[in-house]
Structure 1
Amino acid sequence: MRNDRGMLHVLLLRYTRTPDDAAPHVPDHVEYLETHHDDGTFVLSGQTAPDGTGGVILARGSRAAVERIAAADPFIVAGVGSYEIISAEPGRGAREVLDLFGP
């Protein structure tokens, strides 16, 4: 089993209110994303297609740390979104991707 740093987490963000309700929180959410991309926790993030349904984040680290980070998302704090977190131990993939998750 990989160490906690090597765990992969897919965070599925779904809006629980309308996109108009979420809109005022977008700037803070973008800052939140940038913070966690900069600290190396978030590897990839993007809005779901079609627009207006939520987003997806690929994260690494311990499940507990990722859950704490997800709970601090401005969308969650404001009550306009919720996360489903799916965790996995990376096994096979492109070397460049696997290297992000450690040995």
Structure 2
Amino acid sequence: MFVLELTYTAPLEDVDAVLEAHVAWLDEQYERGVFLASGRKNPRDGGVILAVAEDRGRVEEIAAGDPFVTAGVCAYRVTEFVATKTAPGLERYRETSG
């Protein structure tokens, strides 16, 4: 499982100019089963996405396609972790460390 932390690198008006495309991109990732949760940070200086994928390279490839990235308004930090405990609704994503 992966935590993707977005940090805005441009003024909010530049971020907002790309927001509609970013939300459409998020919707695509949810439809593909890659994203489990997402939202803005508070204060609004970026966002957080909880994702699942076969490996880190795939997650980084997906993040590179975010319109926020292609427009140059945010940077990503990707953290991989082993989800050994989850809420019941997420139990299919539980892993055991190898």
Give the TM-score normalised by the residue count of structure 1.
0.85
Picking from 46, 49, 57, the partner of 1:57 is 49
Aligned equivalent of 1:44: 37
1:4-51 deviation digits (Å, cap 9, x = unpaired): xxxx10000010011111111001000000000111000001111122
- Name the SS of the counterpart of 1:99 in structure 2: helix
Picking from 84, 87, 92, the partner of 2:85 is 92
The alpha-carbon deviation at position 94 of structure 1 amounts to 2.4
Equivalent pair of 1:11/1:58 in contact (CA under 8 Å): yes
2:65 paired with 1:76: no
Unaligned stretches of 5+ in structure 1?
1-7
2:8 paired with 1:18: no
Equivalent pair of 1:90/1:98 in contact (CA under 8 Å): no
Residue type of the alignment partner of 1:99: R
1:31-86 deviation digits (Å, cap 9, x = unpaired): 000000111000001111122x0110000012111100000100101111000000
Unaligned stretches of 5+ in structure 2?
none
Aligned length: 95
Over the aligned positions, Cα root-mean-square deviation in angstroms equals: 1.5
Compare relative contact order (CA 8 Å, sep 6+) and give the higher one, 1 or 2: 1
User: What is the alpha-carbon distance in structure 1 between the residues aligned to residue 61 and residue 30 of structure 2?
Assistant: 15
2:25 paired with 1:32: yes
